[in-house]
Chain A
Amino acid sequence: MKSIRRTQSVITLFLLVFIGGMALLVYKINKEAPFYMMHSDNHQLGKVYDRNGDVLFDAAGTGYDENHFLDVGNLIGDDKGQMENTLVAQNIDKLNNYSFSEGLVKEGGKAAIYTTLDHAANRAVYNAYMGAKGCTVAYNYKTGELLVCTSLPSIDVTKGYANIGELESGTLWSKAMYGTVPGSTQKVSTVISALEIMGPDRLFSKTYNCSGQYMNRSGKPIDCHQSYGHGDQNIQQAVENSCNPFFAQLVEDPDLPLGRLKDMYRKLGYAVNDDKPQYIDIDGIQCEKASTTLTDSYDFNTQWGCIGQGDTLVSPIQLMMWQSAIANGTGKMTMPHLIDHVTDVYGNTTETAKTKESAQLFTPDTAETVKRILLTNGSNHYTGSISGYVLGIKSGTAQVKEGAEENALLVGFVSDERNPIAFCVVLENKYSTPVYAEQIVKTLLDSLCS
């Protein structure tokens, strides 16, 4: 009998191994079936909504006003595979109206993504560009909710891609996610770095002269936008005047050693020189951070980079996020998110957004000092053009296309507990359009704060 029992043991062994494998298979199928289903021609996608229930994506795409989706086309995207770095493309599995037990739900499936976006405000900002190009991004710097993110030109995804070859460059991606020349908005980073390295007392004690052009120590001219100069200035005045010679001399100052400046830039998120580029993940959407070249304190390109021209590139999202670290007074950025919550095919909430902060970029003292500088700049220069708001703000003019065009930038924040909004506006080729960046900011804030 023992021999027979042994044969039965061997039979049991084979059966148990097989049954174990089957159990694993059933678990795997149950878990991965929605993924398999996304590769099926029969998959059924749910919708994407804004914070007020307005539809931002509907695979059916019918029954909506003309160009309903235009202002969010290159941010929300679709399932056609033409725009990969978009919300739908990166989260398409969350819209799958399918479950293994229910099968494909063609009618009444409740899989959906509820975003933090305010479609009405987004549309208002889009219209405020009046056909000009650029992008605007704004978020709640307390919670991280992305409220507005529009990029022009854009595309109405419901109209398809038949004319894809004729689309203007930049139509199929949200420019807010990609690096652009920051212009003088870069000076905010340089001020933060100088404060961290020198301390506020020493920085505020320094004055440099601007005569309209500064010949740097390597013999290259740094021009100021005001050709007759600003005279002697301290840091507050230099920020308000956006004076290039001041910042060139600051970079040359032995109290701001290049090594420490590089370290500080890296801490802020720059890829310095040959560093590996870094990205911010916003619900699957990859957003570039910043990059610059810093080789020698006396070198023209290094100084030009710290002023915000030349090789320096920063994404508008990153510029906005630095404003949150200043506005919050903590030195930590509030990380933006676009998805508020997600529901499955039954309508059950499966994900809910949480507010997250970055690591400490700079001290709270530095944050408070920069905040004061920017608020002073706002109250001195923008109360007329952007009335009704207590703003910390910094402008920039970015030379692009070898200096053939100039883009206008405005970065800032609203100092208001009820409307904690940080923003970045980019207006491309500002001399080709009657629109001003300040108008766009005004429209943005009026839409969000009304």
Chain B
Amino acid sequence: MSNPFSYIFSCLFVLIAHAGMLVNVFFNGKEVDTKEFVILCAAVLGLDIIYYFVMLFYKQHTYTVDFMLLLVLNMSVIFQSCFGGVHLSMKHYITCIVSLIASRVGYHLVRDHRWIQSKKKYVWVCIGIMMGVIVLFTGSRSMWIDLGFMTIQPSEFIKPLLVIACATSITEQQNKHKFLQFNIVWENIILFGITAAVCLLQWWCRDLGSIPTFAAIYAAGFLLRICYPKAKFSNKTLIGAGVAVLIAAGIGIYLAPDYVRARLFVNIWDDTTGNGYQQSQALIAIAEGGWLGKGPSNGFLHEVFAYESDIVFATICEEWGLVIALMTVVVILLIAASPLINPPLSYFHGTLCAGVCAAFTVQMALNIFGSCNLIPFTGVTIPFISMGGSSMATSGIMAGMLTAAQNPVFAKMKSAKPKKQKKVTGGQPA
């Protein structure tokens, strides 16, 4: 076990990175109010330090994800606090703290694979409850629950639940049952059914943008299922699955509402005031920003709808430059890639990591490539960067899952073993 004292340099790195960004804000920001700037500095650097001391209470094998998470979250606080003028974005700051807390929740939730696997039916029930909440409380085919002082997007919380559902059922992949003349794995059928139901629900409440994320989480689990240890790799299965995806996508496009199809096939430069408005403005902003940006709070994109969420990548590019925007993406990628550096210690946790990675990369791809007109614009969030409490909380939970995968708890083996080996042995064989 490591302890966070050994991560003092990581903490210093995070502090220096944030301090560097704040210096840039001070010197290159537009009409920086000293008081507002001091508040921003105190909030960012204070959180860095407090989080470090909080982490002292956690004994983990590795703290990589924790400090990367802290790095990217406070980067996003600085970004969001400079859009349209330098002042602490309190809403985003609070959601970042929520995200950090959520990461601890996610960590504790899946750290012990035996416990969570024993509760997998509750996970299915939770998904069902969330779907029920969407149907009953989001209004007329909407995706938001308006609580007056805040809005919640319940579909976001289904993402970590679906990741857990995929991981908890992985042990049942070879538990085949004879049904008519087919060998059926009930867990696989249930998982497919859950994913299909979630996707159909998203379709119903017009949140088509999140369907690829759910599909990607399931695809990660599906890939691991068809490549299980003793299976002969089936090209037919893979091709069949690919064809099925294409057919489903074709049917989806055919049945999509007119406004969705208009977005799919719009030439944004022919419709810069209509369906192509956000994307064209985003690309213009990126062009104006260049490699090094126009300076914090010096952009114009903050006047465009969803500048802080759906097109936030372009807003960052405009003010901070493409280099910083890419570095931010790299930090999120490093969080998703952390299982390659610190390998997950069980197949369950590996499956968990694959699901989280799929969710993060697909969400980033949908947001960044969509806002830059590389693919149709869907309006999903970038994990940890886009403003939005539900997204931040669920991203935090999933980051916590990654941490847990690298710091698992394994149950005691029945056979007597030397006490020293308790912490690193047992669990599901890899």
What residues make up the interface of A, taking CB atoms closer than 8 Å to B?
A: 1-4, 6-8, 10-15, 17-19, 21-22, 24-26, 28-29, 32-34, 36-37, 39-40, 42, 98, 100-104
Contacts and interface: CB of A to CB of B under 8 A. Distances in A.
A7 B344 contact: yes
B430 A11 contact: no
Given A10-B357, A103-B290, 14 more contacts: A3-B229, A3-B350, A3-B430, A4-B347, A8-B340, A11-B339, A11-B354, A14-B354, A14-B358, A18-B364, A22-B368, A29-B322, A33-B286, A37-B287
A15 B287 contact: no
A98 B287 CA distance: 9
Contacts of B288: 37, 40, 42, 103-104
B430 A29 contact: no
26 contacts: A3-B228, A4-B344, A4-B430, A6-B227, A6-B350, A7-B350, A8-B340, A8-B343, A10-B357, A11-B340, A11-B353, A11-B357, A12-B340, A14-B354, A14-B362, A15-B333, A22-B326, A22-B329, A24-B374, A25-B369, A32-B283, A34-B287, A37-B284, A100-B290, A100-B291, A104-B288
The SS class assigned to the A binding surface is: helix
B286 A29 contact: yes
A100 B229 contact: no
Contacts of B345: 4
Contact of A26 (B294, B322, B344): B322
Given A1-B430, A7-B344, A18 B283 contact: no
A332 B326 CA distance: 55
Interface of B is mostly: helix
Contact of A28 (B294, B357, B374): B374
A25 B361 contact: no
A7 B354 CA distance: 6
B88 interface: no
Contacts of B336: 11, 14-15
A1 B368 CA distance: 35
A179 to B, nearest CB: 30
Contacts of B361: 14-15, 17-18
Contacts of A3: 228-229, 347, 350, 430
Interface string B250-273: 000000000000000000010010
Interface string B355-373: 0011001101100110010
Interface string B275-318: 00000100110111111101000000000000000000000000
A18 B365 contact: yes
Contacts of B354: 7, 10-11, 14
A102 B350 CA distance: 45
B100 to A, nearest CB: 23
A416 to B, nearest CB: 49
B224 interface: yes
B74 interface: no
Contacts of B32: none
B223 interface: yes
Interface string B323-346: 000100100010011011001111
A19 B333 contact: yes
A10 B353 CA distance: 10
Contacts of A102: 290
Interface of B: 216, 220, 223-224, 227-229, 269, 272, 280, 283-284, 286-292, 294, 322, 326, 329, 333, 336-337, 339-340, 343-347, 350-351, 353-354, 357-358, 361-362, 364-365, 368-369, 372, 374, 430
Contacts of A103: 288-290, 292, 294
A39 B430 contact: no
Contact of A11 (B227, B294, B337): B337
A37 B229 CA distance: 53
Contacts of A13: 223
A49 B228 CA distance: 70
Contact of B350 (A4, A15, A37, A39): A4
A103 to B, nearest CB: 4
Contacts of B272: 39
B420 to A, nearest CB: 22
A24 to B, nearest CB: 7
B268 to A, nearest CB: 10
A11 B362 CA distance: 12
Contacts of A104: 288
A4 B336 CA distance: 15
B158 to A, nearest CB: 19
Given A11-B353, A21-B365, A4 B333 contact: no
A7 B286 contact: no
B47 to A, nearest CB: 28
B350 A33 contact: no
B326 A36 contact: no
B89 to A, nearest CB: 26
Nearest to A100: B290
A429 B176 CA distance: 95
Contact of A7 (B326, B353, B362): B353
Residue of A25, A32, A101 with most partner-chain B CB within 10 A = A25
A7 B287 contact: no
B283 A36 contact: yes
B252 to A, nearest CB: 20
A25 B374 contact: yes
Contacts of B294: 103
B215 to A, nearest CB: 13
Contact of B224 (A7, A15, A25): A7
B321 to A, nearest CB: 9
B224 A6 contact: yes
A39 B273 CA distance: 12
A13 B224 CA distance: 12
Given A37-B287, A39-B272, A21 B374 contact: yes
